[in-house]
């Protein structure tokens, strides 16, 4: 796990090369909507991508983490199915619905049933390296989302340079990132983690939560501001000093959200002294979000190390899949 997280900057550049070499058919279109379907480590890339391009996308992009697709999916829809193993049953079910509805379907996977279907049906597909936990292959699945969105006319150029710059930054800042992650991990040990960010970067908070769940074997939760100011902030009346708050912040966050965060910190401080801010670095939104993702990944690893648990182990998920396989 250490080596895989450490390789994140390199993976981003390798993913760019894979995307550039992808053999895709004529884009067709125009498309009235995009639906990205995937779960867990395979699905989070779609959510991050949709968030990053929301300001330039030519049509709505939605992410579905379920067996189902929305009713509006049809011949003018683009559906991106992402399953690292190629065998995620929910994603395969959604993919079948998309084909039945006449949508343009394309696939991101390392193999499995999904790749077999894509080749048999003549669907556009991008093959990424296999053999590792899906959550450690985020760079590959995420970057392909941008290539597909550009190919099908949903976004313009610019992401390749931004991702290259982000990878360079992470390589240059590797020691600083690891050090910051180790310091924060020490402060989180023995606490229940709560993660907050502006709504525009909520997907980064989700990624951090997922990594803490899987790698650190810890329960935690996240919410986004300003939405949480209309509900969860009241719940802090039940806050305790064994809760630790991490706020992911950007200097580019909306100015009113920045004010809200400062007031929120005052509320949190009535109940817990454990309030920590992690500020992003980078010249682009891509760099800033990837920077925070990398810090979160490292925290989840160091947390597991401090607890003496295996960050790669997911026996309970494998048990669930085994029991599901018994149900015909």
CA-CA distance, 134 to 166, in Å (whole number)?
Answer: 21
Can 151 be counted among the known catalytic residues? Answer: no
State both tokens at 227.
């939405």
State both tokens at 14.
């390798």
CA-CA distance, 30 to 38, in Å (whole number)?
Answer: 23
Can 56 be counted among the known catalytic residues? Answer: no
Can 307 be counted among the known catalytic residues? Answer: no
Q: Which of 10, 121, 187, 321 is catalytic?
A: 321
CA-CA distance, 244 to 246, in Å (whole number)?
Answer: 7
> What is the 3-class SS of 254-285, one letter each residue?
CHHHHHHHHHHHHHHHCCCCCEEEEECCCCCH
CA-CA distance, 216 to 308, in Å (whole number)?
Answer: 9
Q: Which of 21, 230, 251, 323 is catalytic?
A: 230
Give the neighbor-by-neighbor strand order of the sheet with 124-127.
61-64, 33-37, 77-83, 104-109, 124-127
State the first-to-last Cα distance of the chain, in angstroms, to the nearest integer: 34
69, 35 in Cβ contact below 8 A?
Answer: yes
CA-CA distance, 77 to 83, in Å (whole number)?
Answer: 19
Q: Which of 90, 214, 218, 222 is catalytic?
A: 214
87, 186 in Cβ contact below 8 A?
Answer: no
**Which residue shows structure tokens 């390392």?**
110
**Nearest of 208, 260, 271, 201 to residue 5 by alpha carbon:** 208
Question: 202-214 vs 285-307: helix axis angle to the nearest 10?
Answer: 20
Question: 285-307 vs 8-21: helix axis angle to the nearest 10?
Answer: 130
The residues that are catalytic are: 214, 230, 321
């Amino acid at each position: 796990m250490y080596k895989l997280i450490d390789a994140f900057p390199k993976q981003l550049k390798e993913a760019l090369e894979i995307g550039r070499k992808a053999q895709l058919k004529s884009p067709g279109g125009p498309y009235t909507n995009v639906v990205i379907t995937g779960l867990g480590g395979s699905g989070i890339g779609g959510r991050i991508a949709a968030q990053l391009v929301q300001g330039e996308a030519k049509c709505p992009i939605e992410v579905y983490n379920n067996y189902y697709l929305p009713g509006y999916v049809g011949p003018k829809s683009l559906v991106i199915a992402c399953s690292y193993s190629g065998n995620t049953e929910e994603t395969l079910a959604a993919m079948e619905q998309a084909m039945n509805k006449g949508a343009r379907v394309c696939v991101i996977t390392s193999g499995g049933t999904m790749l077999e279907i894509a080749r048999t049906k003549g669907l556009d597909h991008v093959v990424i390296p296999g053999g590792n936990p899906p959550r450690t292959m985020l760079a590959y699945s995420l970057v392909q989302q941008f290539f597909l969105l550009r190919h099908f006319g949903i976004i313009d150029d610019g992401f390749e340079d931004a991702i290259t710059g982000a990878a360079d930054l992470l390589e240059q800042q590797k020691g600083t990132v690891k050090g910051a992650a180790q310091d924060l991990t020490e402060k989180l040990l023995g606490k229940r983690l709560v993660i907050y960010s502006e709504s525009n970067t909520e997907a980064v908070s989700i990624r951090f939560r997922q990594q803490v769940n899987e790698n650190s074997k810890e329960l935690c939760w996240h919410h986004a501001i300003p939405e949480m100011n209309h509900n969860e902030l009241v719940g802090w009346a039940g806050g305790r000093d064994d809760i630790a708050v991490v706020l992911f912040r950007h200097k580019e966050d909306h100015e009113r959200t920045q004010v809200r965060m400062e007031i929120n910190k005052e509320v949190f401080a009535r109940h817990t002294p454990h309030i920590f801010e992690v500020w992003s670095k980078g010249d682009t939104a891509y760099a800033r979000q990837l920077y925070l993702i990398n810090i979160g990944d490292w925290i989840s690893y160091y947390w597991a190390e401090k607890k003496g648990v295996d960050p790669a182990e997911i026996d309970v998920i494998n048990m669930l899949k085994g029991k599901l396989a018994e149900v015909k």
